[in-house]
Amino acid sequence: MNALIVVDVQNDFLPGGSLAVPDGQAVIPIANAAMENAKRSGSIVVATQDRHPRNHGSFASQHENADIGSVIELDGLDQVLWSDHCVADTPGVAFPEALRTDLIDRVFPKGGDPMVDSYSGFFDNGRRHSTGLAEFLRDQGVTSVTVLGLATDYCVKFTALDAAAEGFNTTLLLDGSRGVNLNPGDVDAAVAELCDHGVHIKRVEETNQC
């Protein structure tokens, strides 16, 4: 069985949000179509959701004189500092109204520990705690996953890498994802890294690229 993983398609990552991904809104119709196709074929649809406390250590606002985009050490791990985003119980954490959330079987929140970020939908960045996503997928008999969402060079990349590491045959739907490109070339580097780790890269109308 296949599962579709919709990564972090949330208001704060969309135009007008506090950490908007360039062209992020373009993934919504592709995600909706992919979810509809998944349900027609009997596949599982899950979504990940960044859900941070207000004092999360990945927020530049929590560190004196820190710049967004700079890198610090947070509890022993390198951490890029971001603007405050996807704070629990705020509009930014929510899925956009245009996203077909009625097709999602289960949502997996991540990022609740203020001392460690959680890019992947499977584990926090230190791999200290599991979200339960891998266990859920195995319980449903899932052997392959397709990943899309926001952002290609961060949460999508790490979700796909962990999916492959957990033994799932993993495909990235490239045109269903958009990247931050904090540094020029980050998205291309992320795609190359995914290829190197056995993740298949495809577009909606194309066969696998690697």
Catalytic residue positions, numbered: 8, 110, 155
CA-to-CA distance for 186 and 135, rounded, in angstroms? 30
Token pair in block for residue 55: 């004092």
